[in-house]
Amino acid sequence: MKSVAAGVLEVAYLEQGPADGPPVILLHGFPYDVHSYEYVAAQLSQQGFRCLIPYLRGYGPTRFLSKDTPRSGQQAALGHDLRAFLDALEIPQAILAGYDWGGRAACVVAALWPERARGLISCGTGYNIQDIATAASPAEPKQERRFWYQYYFHSERGRAGLATNRHALARLLWELWSPTWSFGEETFNRSASAFDNPDFVEVVIHSYRHRYGLVSGDPALDSLEEKLARQPAISVPTIVLEGADDDVDPWEERDHHAAHFTGHYERRVLPRTGHNPPQESPDAFAQAVLDLAEPR
C-alpha cells in the first residue's frame, strides 16, 4: 500500500509492475474496492504495465486532507480526483479503466482532459457521464425497480440504513447485480473493510442525491459540472465492456451510447459476467487493456 497527496485527498493506492512501464489506472466502483483488480493487475504487470489502483474518496485508507472539504460524491469530484492523482504521480497520460463510479471518473477525465487518456475502458454504461438535467425523467418500471437502493439513499432512513448495515447492504447488491458470480465470504470480506472509511456514508449518500439534482454540489466543482452538463463527447480510443448478466445495468442489443464517442470505439459483451467485470472476467478485462495499448 502506498499513498500520495492529490488534490483534496491523501489517496491510498496499490501499485504493481515495473515503475517505467506504461501506466494503467484501474478504478473500482460502488460498493467494491481495489481487490476487484487483483487478477487483472497480476496479468498486466507480467506484460510490463505499471498498474495503479487507487481507493476512491470515501473508501479504504483514502482520507480527506481537510475536515472542511465537502464530502461530495458527485461526478466532477471523481473526475477531479483522478486528474489530481495523475498529477501527483507525474503521469502525463495513462490508460484509464474502470466500472461503476470508477468508470465515471475515467469517462470524466477522458471527456474533459483527453490528453491525459491514452485509452479508456468503461464498463456497463459506456458513456458514464450523468445527465443530471434529465435525471428526474422516469425509466421503465423494471429499471426503476433495479434502482431501489438509489431511492432508498434519498431518504434519511436510507442514510441510517447504510450507516448501520453497510456490509450487509453491499453484500446484497453484489448478489443482485452479479447473479452468476459465486463469490465467497473471504472474497467479500476483503473488500468490506473498505466501507468502514469514516467518510463512506456521507460520500455515498451525496453521490446518489446529487445525480438526481436533490442536493447541491461542491462549489469548487461548479465549473466542471457545467461542462459535464453539456454531455461532452469522448474522443480517446475506447472499449466498452458489458456484463451479459449485469442486473443493475442490463445489456441491450441496441447501443445507446456509441454516439457519444468520436474516436475508435468497440463494445464487447462478456458472458456470465455481472456488474463487476474485472473481478468476474479478469482475462477479458486485461485483454481489453492490452488491445488499447496496441498502436493504432
The predicted-structure confidence for 196-212, as pLDDT tens digits, reads as follows 999 999 999 999 999 99
Q: What single letter denotes the amino acid at residue 204?
A: V
Q: What single letter denotes the amino acid at residue 169?
A: L
**Cell numbers 425523467 correspond to what residue?**
137
Query: Does residue 296 register a pLDDT over 70?
Result: no
Q: Are 62 and 89 in contact (CB under 8 A)?
A: no
Q: Mean pLDDT, the chain, as a whole number?
A: 97
**pLDDT score, position 294:** 87
DSSP SS3 for 42: helix
Give 148-167 pLDDT, tens digit per residue. 999 999 999 999 999 999 99
What percentage of residues in the chain have a pLDDT greater than 70?
100
Query: Does residue 271 register a pLDDT over 70?
Result: yes
pTM above 0.95, yes or no: yes
Query: At the fourth CATH level, which superfamily is domain 2-293?
Result: Alpha/Beta hydrolase fold, catalytic domain (3.40.50.1820)
The domain spans of the chain are 2-293
What are the phi and psi torsion angles at 213 (to 5°)?
A: 75, 25
**Mean pLDDT computed over 95-118:** 98
**Cell numbers 453491499 correspond to what residue?**
170
